[in-house]
Amino acid sequence: MASDSSPSNGGGGRFVPEKDNFLQRHVAFFDLNGDGVVYPSETYKGFRSIGCGVPLSAFAAVFINVGLSRKTRPGKKFSLKFPIEVKNIHLAKHGSDSGVYDKDGRFVEPKFEEIFEKHARTHPDALTSDELKQLLKANREPKDRAGWLAGFTEWKILYSLGKDKNGLLHKDTVRSVYDGSFFEHLKERRSSSLKKSV
């Protein structure tokens, strides 16, 4: 019998997200050792590596792993290690979202464009804080408090990390969050600024 901490990549080599599965690519950033499983310690370290403080990183590790672990491990026993299996991350999709990821975690271009067509009123390719609030409100499904909370948390963190000096969240930044490259960019930027300060 496999242990609850066994890797989800079949036990061989590094886990590689499916090329067209943006949701896997998004989550794989936090799979620090490449075994296809994200533990709370990896979530914490991942958030710290992109410049988040200790309180936010700790909150994210608990909120994300506790919330998603069981959903990504169908048929497996509960684990207090709260692992998230990257290959099954599509099973943890919450309601009240934008629909940019389909049921399998693939990127849906028309849904992405719809975000800006419907909500970017001040600038066609960016969202203000107020426009983001409108987006969240428009995405709410009735009686889906868990989905509301998840969506609110995700977008608020994204806005705080990705807005420019004028408080605008640009379209290319949002796209890079969906495909996971935003995290790599933040990590490189933080690493570069730390080197300059030494």
pLDDT digits (tens, 9 = 90+) for 124-177: 999 999 999 999 999 999 999 999 999 999 999 999 999 999 999 999 999 999
Let me know if residue 42 belongs to a domain: yes
Let me know if residue 10 belongs to a domain: no
144, 96 Cβ separation under 8 angstroms? yes
Let me know if residue 173 belongs to a domain: yes
81, 7 Cβ separation under 8 angstroms? no
Between 180 and 88, whose confidence is greater? 88
Domain count, the chain: 1
98, 152 Cβ separation under 8 angstroms? no
Q: Residue 4 pLDDT more than 80?
A: no
Q: Residue 197 pLDDT more than 90?
A: no
Let me know if residue 32 belongs to a domain: yes
Let me know if residue 63 belongs to a domain: yes
Rg, Å, the chain Cα set: 17
Q: Residue 9 pLDDT more than 70?
A: no
Q: pLDDT confidence of 2, banded at 50, 70, 90?
A: very low
Domain limits at 98? 22-197
Mean pLDDT of the 9-14 span: 63
> What's the mean pLDDT when you consider all of the chain?
91
CB count, 10 Å around CB of 141? Answer: 13
Taking the C-alpha atoms of residue 98 and residue 96, their distance in angstroms, rounded to an integer, is: 7
Let me know if residue 141 belongs to a domain: yes
Let me know if residue 126 belongs to a domain: yes
Q: pLDDT confidence of 109, banded at 50, 70, 90?
A: very high
Let me know if residue 2 belongs to a domain: no
